[in-house]
Every structure is written in structure tokens, then in C-alpha cells.
Structure 1
Amino acid sequence: MAAGLRKSVEAINGTPLPHGILNTPCTDVRDVADEHELLGVEWLALGCCPVRSWTDPCGDESPGEESPGDESGAPGTKEFCRPETEHAEPITLYAGAECSTIGWSYAEAREHAEATLALGEQQGLEAAFWRQKLTRDAVDLTPAEGPLSVAQGVAVLEGCLAESYGGVGVLHVPAGAAALLGCCDLARENTATGGLSTLTGNCVIIGAGYSAENTGPGGTPADPGTAWLYITGPLVVRRGPSVTIPDRPGPSVNIRNNDRRVLVERTYVVGTTCTVCAVQVEVCP
């Protein structure tokens, strides 16, 4: 059949992966309108300071009215931790639609661009967060002997998080390695929340954007047959409203070639806390 005789139908819609960064109970997603929050945020780290045990060397269980801590470091003194200031920078994602003005209206171009962003924002945010935070700040725990098995890698990461944070964190897994989590029953679905969690109780994010990146600390590409896994503290995603540019038909047309362009943008700020750990694992036997 000739192409000109084909009937035009609606686009094939899709659904973002169910355990991605925006579609999981692992992430606290907050839709915000305050533009100041979308310029970046900072906070005092909570949970990164250790809670220690102490025994009165004199055997007196009464704490007294004065602070038992001092700066001498002598036996029996208590240690104090100064919370660090953490921050998160903005990430702006966009989707653009370009078409001829013949047969495609501004409304149709706008709808297409907005639908593209809605379907792809999760993957785009995962890739950006991977580059902006995970690969920049992670401590590489891969042994000198080389990549570990997936089970060993998860164990190493969870140990790292437990030592530095102690609360429930998030395991970040590329979609290309996710199937291997089932080999050793490493992740289970939480029937109460619908999310995935490890036996330790840490949340699991399976990211299409993670799989597209698959780089180690410093942006080192994964060797063939391997993948990078990361673990962090809890995640908070601040998400601004989507903005369509231009917001009316006239300026969307380039009068030189009669093409129409419509752009949709959205800004996000993804924050996490305490240590970020990474390990390289084998995905091929």
C-alpha cells in the first residue's frame, strides 16, 4: 500500500518502569512551586553522626548537670559530632517537538512534547542523577581482584551503608542487571508499599537511565559483562511544574522554513544524605 494512503492514528503510549526513581515508594517526590527550592537546596545532614555508647569510668550512672564532654580526649569523655551541610543542585530536563506547520497544529505539537516529557522524565532524571551525584561522590568498593558477583556486590554496599548511616537507604541498580537480583533472592516486592526491598530492608530502584549510563566513580565506563551498582541514603526529589515554550502558537513558527518548534522543560532537585558507595559486579557468568 502506498504511504499516502495510510490512515493516521494515535501514538502508541507507554508506561515508565514501575520501580524507577519517580515511580517507587523508595523516593519522596515533592511537587513544589517555590522557585527558590528549584535553584538548589541545602540542609544539615541527619543520621550521619554515630550514636556511641558510654560508660562512666567512676561507676556513677547519674549524668549530672554538666556536659560530660570535653575536648581533651581523655578516657570517659563523650565525643560530639558537628553535622555537615549537604546540598543538591537543580537538574533541568526538556523535550522538544519539531514539525512542519503543514498538517500539524501548535496544539498537536505541544501535546506531543508534553507527552514525551511525561513518558521519559524518569529515565532522563535517573541518567542525570547518576552523572551529577552518584559517579561524582561515590566511594569505590570494588576489590583489586576485580568485579564481584551481584550477591557479593549488594552485600558490600549494604555493609557500607550500615556502617555510615544505619537507616533505610536506596540501592540503585541498572535495568540491565536487575534480573540478576532474583537469582539469589536479593530483592523482594513489599506487598504493603508495592516497592522492592532487599532482605536488609533497603529500597531498590531499577533505572532505565542507570542502565543507559552504567559508569563507575569518575565516569569510568563499565567493562564488558559488568555493571555498576550504587547505594545511598534516602532520596527526596523536588519537582517543579512543567513549562511549555512558547506558550502560544505564533512564536513557535520559524518563518524562514515554516517549521514549528515547541519545547517543554521541568526542573528537579534530587537530594540524598551521608555516604554514597559503589561497586562493580559481573552480569555474565
Structure 2
Amino acid sequence: MPAGLRRYVEAIPGTPLPHGILGASCTTVNDVTEDRIHELNGVEWLAMGCCPVQDWPDPCEEESPGEESPGSPPQKEFCRPVTEHASPITVYAGAECSTLGWTYAEAREHAEASLALGEQQGLEAAFWRTKLAMDAVDLTPAAGPVSVAQGVAALEGCLAETYGGVGTLHVPAGVAALLGCCNVLREDPETGALRTLAGNCAIIGAGYSALNTGPGNIPAEPGTAWLYITGPLVIRRGPVDTVPDTAGASVNYRTNDRRVLVERTFVVGTTCTVCAIQVVTCD
């Protein structure tokens, strides 16, 4: 074929990973309406389900104390709910190019498409860094990292002891194949969600894989990865904001470059204990 100028074509489209943090099968994603826009500044609530529900013995079935003093009668325990909160996370995509041959509409379209493809990954990385790695209880034994199946078992045990409801397993994308080979995760035929035998849902995150840090955001050692588990996730999602919103304001006349920024704010909430464990990814 004779040499010549390459032909300009449309960009290759992409699709976010289906089991990421914004997948409807594993999280509740609520689009914030104008009348509730203040929720994007952060929210707080009283935790529900973190207090234990205890049994009360039938006094008729208790053995007679005999001659010994029965002491003070047993008392039912009360739990004071704690206040939890979630802070805003803003993710963005920016497009920059020469104004020659690139219109404002094209720059805006490019930035919006970049955000649509990458916002899930960006949100996962931010949630991992600011919440999971900062609040987790480390379950890794003194002997060191465990197998993936053992790690999931320990995390589910931690969640069951502190919450008891259906929770969320947070898995770096680089570990997903190891969960499949051991049948740790199965796809729910009705919802498409990935679930463990215990019924907990799993998020497979590209943003999680990009960080792969442990409690305190300490990087994982080679050949290992970190898994986390939390209660259910509720995500508040704001509208897409474009800056600037006019063509003229997007141009830097000193350099003749055009810049368009597109961003969106999320508030990701979860509840009760965050547990973490380090697992081995290769022998």
C-alpha cells in the first residue's frame, strides 16, 4: 500500500467494568435532584444494624439457685447508636488541545466521554484511599498473608460478627480470577451480581487494583493484595458539571490552547466495621 496521510476516525469506545462500584447490582446509586443538592456536601446518619441483638433467657427454665443468694437480677443491655458520615468525592476529566481544528463542542464531548468511561475507576480509587484503607481493622495473621479463599472467609466472619446483614466485598481487579477458580464468587442469575456462598456481594474494582494498599495506605508487598469488606453501600451521585460552559472562556489566548473540564461529585456511604486482610496472589 502506498504511503500517505493517515485518515482521522472516531475514537475507540470503551465500557466500564460491569462489577465496579457503580454497578447497580451491588450498590444503591441515587442521583441527587436539585432539591437535595446540599447532600453532595456530605451526609451523616445514625448507624443501624451495628448494635447486637441479644437473647433473653426464659426465667422459668433457669435452675433453682438453692441456698445461695441469687444476686442482682439480670439487666437488659441498651446500645447507643453512633453517628456515621460520608464525605464528598469529586472526580474529573480535562481535555486540552490547540484551538486550531478543535472546537469547544469537540473538546467538551471528548472530556464528557472520558469522564463517563473513567469515573468509576476514579471513584473506586478515592473510596479505597479515603475510607477503606483509613478505617479498616487488619485481620492479617502474624504469620503473614493467607490464601484468597481464607481471606474471604475471615472477612465474612468479621462482618457477620459486627453487622450480620448482607455486606460488600471489595476486590482489586487483579484478584478476580483467583476468586473464580476457587468458586468463592458466583454470579446471581437474576441480578448479575457476584456473590459469595454466604450471600455477600462483591465489587471488582479497577481503581482498587490501581492502589492495592493496606490499612494506612501502605503499598502491598509483591505477590500479595489487600481485600476489604464493609456493610452495604449507598452512593449519592451529582450531576455532571462542565467548566467553562461557554466556548470563549475555554481559550487561553496567550497559548491559543483550549481547556474544558468535566467533573462530578459523589458521596459514598457504608456502615459499621471495615475489615481488611492481606492475601497471596502467587506462589
The TM-score by the shorter chain falls in which range? over 0.9
Q: Which amino acid aligns with 1:40?
A: G
Q: What is the Cα-based RMSD across aligned positions, in Å?
A: 1.7
Q: Which amino acid aligns with 1:120?
A: G
- Partner of 1:49, secondary structure, is coil
Q: Name 2:178's counterpart in structure 1.
A: 180
- Partner of 1:131, secondary structure, is helix
Q: State which drifts further: 32-41 or 140-149.
A: 32-41
Closer/same/farther in 2, CA of residues 36 and 74 from structure 1, 3 Å limit: farther
- Partner of 1:14, secondary structure, is coil
Q: What is the total number of aligned residue pairs between the two structures?
A: 273
Q: In the TM superposition, what is the alpha-carbon distance from 1:84 to its structure 2 partner?
A: 0.4
Q: Name 1:108's counterpart in structure 2.
A: 106
Runs of 4 or more off by more than 6 Å in structure 1? 1-4
Q: In the TM superposition, what is the alpha-carbon distance from 1:2 to its structure 2 partner?
A: 9.5
Closer/same/farther in 2, CA of residues 3 and 28 from structure 1, 3 Å limit: farther
Deviations 1:205-259 (A, max 9, x none): 0000000000000011000000000000000010000000000100000000100
Q: State which drifts further: 29-38 or 227-236.
A: 29-38
Closer/same/farther in 2, CA of residues 3 and 282 from structure 1, 3 Å limit: farther
Tell me the distance in 2 between the aligned counterparts of 1:173 and 1:74. 49
Within 5 A, what are the aligned runs for 1:38-117? Answer: 38-57=40-59, 74-117=72-115
Q: In the TM superposition, what is the alpha-carbon distance from 1:57 to its structure 2 partner?
A: 3.8
Deviations 1:55-82 (A, max 9, x none): 254669xxxxxxxxxxxx9542100000
- Partner of 1:266, secondary structure, is strand
Within 5 A, what are the aligned runs for 1:239-278? Answer: 239-278=237-276
- Partner of 1:218, secondary structure, is coil
Q: Which amino acid aligns with 1:208?
A: A
- Aligned-pair identity (%): 76
Unaligned runs of 5+ in 1: 61-72
Closer/same/farther in 2, CA of residues 207 and 3 from structure 1, 3 Å limit: farther
TM-score (norm 1): 0.93
Q: State which drifts further: 50-59 or 216-225.
A: 50-59
Q: In the TM superposition, what is the alpha-carbon distance from 1:184 to its structure 2 partner?
A: 1.4
Unaligned runs of 5+ in 2: 63-70
Closer/same/farther in 2, CA of residues 138 and 250 from structure 1, 3 Å limit: same
Within 5 A, what are the aligned runs for 1:1-285? Answer: 5-33=5-33, 34-57=36-59, 74-285=72-283
Q: In the TM superposition, what is the alpha-carbon distance from 1:23 to its structure 2 partner?
A: 1.7
Q: Which amino acid aligns with 2:54?
A: R
Deviations 1:22-79 (A, max 9, x none): 024110000103221000000000000000001254669xxxxxxxxxxxx9542100
TM-score (norm 2): 0.93
Tell me the distance in 2 between the aligned counterparts of 1:78 and 1:124. 46
- Partner of 2:209, secondary structure, is helix
Judge conservation of contact 1:234–1:273 (CA < 8 Å) in 2. yes
Q: In the TM superposition, what is the alpha-carbon distance from 1:183 to its structure 2 partner?
A: 2.1
Judge conservation of contact 1:24–1:205 (CA < 8 Å) in 2. no
